[in-house]
Amino acid sequence: MTADHDMAVDPEGRPLPMTPAEVRATIVKLIDTGELIAVIVRDRTTEDIAMQVLGPPSRAVLDTLETAVRAYRRVLNGHG
């Protein structure tokens, strides 16, 4: 399932030169070869959003999530 709005951005929110299909393929590869540490899920029927962090508390995970949120906020605000 590839969505035309899938994208990758750098920590500053600037789009990376990847197509939506390349973004999806990269994520699938990382799921297959890496360690899943956080999940964000949207219920398509209710539009509710939930998040789970897997494993023990980690400052590194928190730092990564904060960086991702800053970049995503820039994209939403049109500054990426």
pLDDT digits (tens, 9 = 90+) for 36-73: 888 889 898 999 999 999 888 899 999 999 998 998 89
Domain-located, residue 15:
no
Count: domains in the chain: 1
Please tell me whether residue 18 adopts helix, strand or coil conformation.
Answer: coil
Domain-located, residue 64:
yes
Q: Flag whether the pTM goes above 0.75.
A: no
Domain-located, residue 71:
yes
Domain-located, residue 63:
yes
d(CA 2, CA 24): 6
Q: What is the CA radius of gyration of the chain?
A: 14
Domain-located, residue 12:
no
Domain-located, residue 54:
yes
The range of the structural domain enclosing residue 34 comes to: 20-76
- Residue 41, CA distances (Å) to 17, 18, 19, 45, 49 in order: 25, 23, 22, 12, 6
